[in-house]
Amino acid sequence: MSIKLMIVDDSAVVRQVLAQVFATVPDVKVMDTATDPIMAMDKMKKQWPDVLVLDVEMPRMDGITFLKQLMQTHPTPVVICSSLTQKGADISMQAMAAGAVEVIAKPQSGVKQFLEENGNMLVSAVRAAACARMSRVRTMAPTPLEARPKLSADAILTAPTGGGMFQTTERIVAIGTSTGGTQALEVVLTALPRTSPGLAIVQHMPEKFTASFAERLNRLSEIEVKEASNGDRILPGRALIAPGGKHMMIKRSGAFYHVEVVDGPLVSRHKPSVDVLFRSAAKFAGRNCLGIIMTGMGDDGAKGLLEMHDAGARTIAQDEDSCVVFGMPKEAIKLGAADEVLPLDNLSRAICR
């Protein structure tokens, strides 16, 4: 059964190129396109799509208004496709908060070439959205399009050696998540007190978007939430979000922890990669760290969580019932990497413990 896709974008170029990209994908069918939400709603009365690819800034009705209406009347997986600008990122974060499950950043110029060259990312986003359990979205493995080597964390950081990690009073938390993670992280972080341990977080998200995401969470949370910069200390009452398009690692200096933000190849097909974060936590924090893998498509982070477990860290996977997509936690559980499997609403308490 193919995924029925509708593309809603006022740009004829975007509609045409996206239709061409998905024409070569056997499990996705572009059932229709629309220039704005008003036209889309008329067409959806005849046939409802499984997934919508939605622009934000459009005539007659903007994408956020349309999305909010959609989530109230007929919750449907939505992939936001928005300009790679600060303004676009801010608006897209509002859309994610309203219930969108994925975000794709398109440049202001060279859009046609960008979409053609990033077919894998587009297809993966639509497939992930199609797997989303919309009842779990909170509002507040087919063959890839193009075969690419799936690199492990070895591409960034060597594996832990098993050497002893001396104990410290400093306790930290490493979290990895993807599809559904923007809403899930809001649930967790807004429940944490200022006395909570420091957190290092990877949320799969494009560059420029993570800064707006962190700013939004910072406004809503009692703790400080910021996009990580190279060398930032992991401090109690602070959460560091890995920048989109960069890997983030936990490093140790004496008894204290900080993050190192680096470039590099995609790891587990992602940048930032949860596997990279978790491996660094296993290597430099060991039993001083708590590892949590949350809702998301694929298996990024599963092997890294196992490395954390083997290094003496306590490890948790989010349970299936509370996940939007039970992919990443499921793979970690299959490997025996999780000490506990907990619902989303229990994760903040586990962090405080």
Ranges in the chain, pLDDT < 50: 141-148, 164
Q: 244: closest CA among 231, 263, 220?
A: 263
> What pTM value is reported for the model?
0.85
Name 1's Cβ contacts closer than 8 Å, sequence gap at least 6.
none
The whole-number pLDDT of residue 92 equals 76
On whether the CB atoms of residues 188 and 226 are closer than 8 A, the answer is no
Question: Is residue 55 annotated as a catalytic residue, yes or no?
Answer: no
Catalytic residue selected from 55, 300, 319, 322: 300
51-54 and 3-8 strand pairing: parallel
The whole-number pLDDT of residue 169 equals 64
Dump pLDDT digits (tens) for 16-43.
989 998 998 999 999 999 999 999 999 9
Ranges of CATH 3.40.50.2300 domains, the chain:
3-134
Q: How far from the centroid of its chain's Cα atoms is residue 27's Cα?
A: 23
Right CATH number for 153-352 from 1.10.287.70, 3.40.50.720, 3.30.365.10, 3.40.50.180?
A: 3.40.50.180
Catalytic residue selected from 204, 247, 270, 309: 204
Question: Is residue 232 annotated as a catalytic residue, yes or no?
Answer: no
The whole-number pLDDT of residue 146 equals 44
The whole-number pLDDT of residue 149 equals 58
CATH of domain 3-134: 3.40.50.2300
Q: How far apart are CA 227 and CA 222, in angstroms?
A: 16
Ranges of CATH 3.40.50.180 domains, the chain:
153-352
The whole-number pLDDT of residue 325 equals 94
Catalytic residue selected from 92, 178, 221, 322: 178
Dump pLDDT digits (tens) for 78-93.
998 887 556 667 877 8
Give DSSP secondary structure letters for 97-142: HHT--EEEEE-SS-HHHHHHHTHHHHHHHHHHHHH--GGGPPP--P
Three-state SS string across 256-270, please? EEEEEEECCCCECCE
Question: Is residue 178 annotated as a catalytic residue, yes or no?
Answer: yes
